[in-house]
Structure 1
Amino acid sequence: MAEKRSEWFDWIKAFGIAAILAIVIRLFLFSPVIVDGPSMQPNLQNGDFLIVNKISYILGEPDRFDVVVFHATESRDYIKRVIGLPGEHVKYENETLYINDEPVKEPYLEERVESFSGTYTHDFTLENLPGNFEKIPDGHVLVLGDNRTNSKDSRRLGLIPVDELVGKAQLIAWPLDRFGFVGE
């Protein structure tokens, strides 16, 4: 009888430890996110199940072209791509991204822009965005959706505080035919 009780206790203890580990991982390390909407097409699709690395920006700073999840409102998170970093001036002119007046290629958009009829990304400068900044201030980033014709991003929201970033999208986990790392 004591042996059976010990076995049950071992099972309960194992499940308890597993549950605590799952909670710690979910709260502090990785988080699942489902893409909701077309703003990151063609690179991310509505319904894609992503794994977000939550410690990326605790240990480091965002890099240009990182795909990030951030708190857009108290109840809603958005997924966008980091385009501008602190200290930079950003403008878009004739389908070309300029950072500090130097053209920057966006390889993740090339195919889409070539096949699109019309203007894919309308011209703008950092000064035209909410906040009227000349340079991106410390602690902020400029984000854009890959689907520039249908994305609520820094052009409407303004610059995003780095402390609102949940983490970096690392992996498309579902659907299986799209399984892989979130690329540039």
Structure 2
Amino acid sequence: MKNYRYLERRNLMIRRIGLWIGEIAAAILLAFLVIQFCFQTVTVHGDSMQPAYYDGDTVLVNKLDYRFGSPKRLDAVILELENGSTTHYSVKRVIGLPGETVKIENGKIYINNKELKGFSEEEILSAGLAAYDVALEDDEYFVMGDNCNNSEDSRVSNIGNIKRSQFVGKITGTIHKAKRQ
């Protein structure tokens, strides 16, 4: 009789431990899937997105938004950029959409010959490649930093137009604001 109770308790304990291990494994798998395919945090480096995002800010990136939809004008986004053999992430804002023509003239941005309102009140000092019409293909976007006079973006040849596949996700909010100087 004692052996039977001991075996019963032991089997119950083994089942409980198995359930705990299964629940922990499921939680780890779920966390991995959420981070890999749904959301991610990124720390901003540099001043190109001021005043929206400062160096050291941590932002939440929604990766799902662009799995089911397309980037929209003025979305703040995370891009995966390759420079030779290295890959880095960059925070920019979508300015031009596929099929549009972008031009910067007299310090202002023009989309299909109409002035873009709501992006920046600051006069753009360097038009770069956009000094002439930049025609975007079906899979291309034109991006810029909010701090347009201190940003390396689609206006420079080593970045240029951004392909749809280079979008990591849309910034949905700031998790941690860095100390402002």
Question: TM bucket by the smaller chain?
Answer: 0.7 to 0.9
Q: TM-score, normalised by structure 1?
A: 0.81
Alignment of 1:136-175 (within 5 A): 136-156=136-156, 157-175=159-177
Post-superposition CA distance 1:24-72 (Å, at most 9, x none): 1111111111111111011101111111111222211111001111111
Which amino acid in the other structure matches residue 4 of structure 1? M
- Residue 138 of structure 2 corresponds to residue 121 of structure 1: no
Q: Per the alignment, do residues 172 and 165 of structure 1 end up closer, same or farther by CA in structure 2, a change over 3 Å counting?
A: same
How far is 1:154 from its partner? 0.5
2:128, 2:90 → 1: CA distance?
Answer: 22
Pick aligned residue for 1:36 from 12, 24, 45: 45
Alignment of 1:16-165 (within 5 A): 16-73=25-82, 74-107=86-119, 109-110=120-121, 113=122, 120-122=123-125, 124=127, 128=131, 134-156=134-156, 157-165=159-167
Q: Partner of 1:21: helix, strand, or coil?
A: helix
Alignment correspondent of 2:20: 11
How far is 1:158 from its partner? 0.6
Which amino acid in the other structure matches residue 66 of structure 1? D
Aligned CA RMSD, in angstroms, stands at 2.1
Which amino acid in the other structure matches residue 39 of structure 1? S
| Contact 1:89–1:126 (Cα < 8 Å) also in 2 | no
Report which stretch shifted further, 31-40 or 85-94: 85-94
* Structure 2 alignment gaps of length 5 or more: 1-9
| Contact 1:90–1:125 (Cα < 8 Å) also in 2 | no
The sequence identity of aligned pairs, in percent, is 36
1:36, 1:13 → 2: CA distance?
Answer: 39
Q: Partner of 2:26: helix, strand, or coil?
A: helix
2:19, 2:104 → 1: CA distance?
Answer: 61
Larger radius of gyration: 2
Post-superposition CA distance 1:110-135 (Å, at most 9, x none): 3xx3xxxxxx4125376547xxx641
1:126, 1:2 → 2: CA distance?
Answer: 72
2:102, 2:37 → 1: CA distance?
Answer: 32
- Count residues with an aligned counterpart: 165
Q: Per the alignment, do residues 125 and 38 of structure 1 end up closer, same or farther by CA in structure 2, a change over 3 Å counting?
A: closer
1:6, 1:69 → 2: CA distance?
Answer: 45
* Structure 1 alignment gaps of length 5 or more: 114-119, 178-184
2:113, 2:97 → 1: CA distance?
Answer: 14
